[in-house]
Amino acid sequence: MAETSTWDVIIVGGGIVGAATMYKLQARFPSFRILLLEKEKELADHQTGHNSGVIHSGIYYKPGSWKAKNCVQGRRELVAFCKEHKVAHDVCGKIIVATEKEEIQRLEKIYNTGIANAIEDVEMIGAEKIKEIEPQCAGIAGIRVGCTGIVDFRGATRTMTEVARGRNAASEVRLDEEVTGSSPDGDSTLVRTNKTTYRGRFIVFCGGLQADRLAKRDGALLRERIVGFRGDYYELTEAAKHKVKHLIYPVPDPRFPFLGVHFTRMTDGSIECGPNAVFTFKREGYGKTDFSLSDTVDALTYGGTWKLFFNNMSYGIDEYRRAFSKRLFLKTLRRLIPSLTMEDIEPGRAGVRAMLLGTDGNMVDDFRIETRGTHIHVLNAPSPAATACLAIGERIVEMCVEKIGMR
């Protein structure tokens, strides 16, 4: 295939982190011609477009970690961006609810983490205040987090690329074009796609669910591997929507890397319940029976996957049972909203989360971004990466300047 064009920066991946990177780079370097490549027919078509739609506060994350710093900074930037560019959002607040006495100590630890992370508008509340905020919710103690919100992440992603292109009309977003490989060529890199070849001075990989594969194709030495976890949602029926006013979360179990099944009022007015977390046999599969032989072999021939399974056997079994049982899913939801019935919930959508898994079976907890020559790889960007996207994009710009010599 013939080489078609030369670019200052090529960004691989059109999720919200890729879009935020384009937006931030174009702001810093207005004259740069930037090309964003996305293999799907739309931007934000995988993790970004299938997540919970929550603007996270940053209350859960270890003080001093990239997650904590970037979530708090990124949240404030994202809300300001949405206000300026009329992206649908609502800083509606949430409550984290303890339903059993043994959860209160964990709840207090979360509150103290929030204070250490300088989260604004946070307070411990009792059962009476919980009822005042969410009349249908049962809890003995909780945390009110006023700065949490909801947002249209697909709309935010599109808008970021539109604003970037508004700064330089020579920059482009090309959809339905999958990157198949890259190779050095003098002072630049040739990026091959299923349609043509591009030349770029600097390359930024924001591949999400395919991040490890893109890194290895680029020659990076990566011992860890991406493993996908599908999350299924239910929705409240029209008649049951009144039972949830804002966002309601359980106290997460620290043994597991997920926040637990929760209630989210979306920007379109729907109320989602979920997600669970089950190992998926297809990285980009959103159906319960979706299967990819290559993805399955890739995951099950990796020792870290089996260590994860063995270390979390009972949790994994419970999650799978709940994935295929509406009754068990409802039982979990009723811990927070006891009045829910089988008629109140109906099956909704699903998402897949990319988790970078170590050889020891432990998930890489923090964001991870690495450089290789004039290339940058976003290797691990789990939740709250969508909330933190603009802060992550700013960090990538700093790395471009400081580590790979972008000028």
Q: Are residues 279 and 346 in the same domain?
A: yes
What pLDDT is stored for residue 241 in this prediction?
97
Q: Are residues 279 and 216 in the same domain?
A: no
CATH number at residue 261: 3.30.9
Residue 73, in any domain of the structure: no
Q: Are residues 214 and 350 in the same domain?
A: no
pTM for the predicted model, two decimal places: 0.96
What pLDDT is stored for residue 300 in this prediction?
95
Q: Are residues 100 and 169 in the same domain?
A: no
Residue 197, in any domain of the structure: yes
Domain count, the chain: 3
What pLDDT is stored for residue 257 in this prediction?
64
> Splitting the chain (407 residues) into consecutive groups of 10 residues, what average pLDDT does each group show?
79 98 98 98 97 96 96 98 98 97 96 97 98 97 98 98 98 98 94 96 98 94 93 96 96 78 94 92 94 96 94 81 89 96 96 95 94 96 96 98 93
Q: Are residues 354 and 391 in the same domain?
A: no
Residue 381, in any domain of the structure: yes
Supply the range of the domain harboring residue 300: 225-363
Q: Are residues 373 and 260 in the same domain?
A: no
Cβ(103)–Cβ(50) below 8 Å: no
d(CA 55, CA 74): 9
C-beta atoms surrounding 57 within 10 Å? 28
* Paired strand residues for 90: 150
What pLDDT is stored for residue 1 in this prediction?
43
Q: Are residues 220 and 232 in the same domain?
A: no
Q: What is the dihedral of CA 322, 350, 238, 56, to 10 degrees?
A: 100
Q: Are residues 230 and 220 in the same domain?
A: no
Residue 106, in any domain of the structure: yes
What pLDDT is stored for residue 155 in this prediction?
98
Residue 301: is it exposed, middle or buried by C-beta count within 10 angstroms (0-12/13-18/19+)? exposed
Residue 352, in any domain of the structure: yes
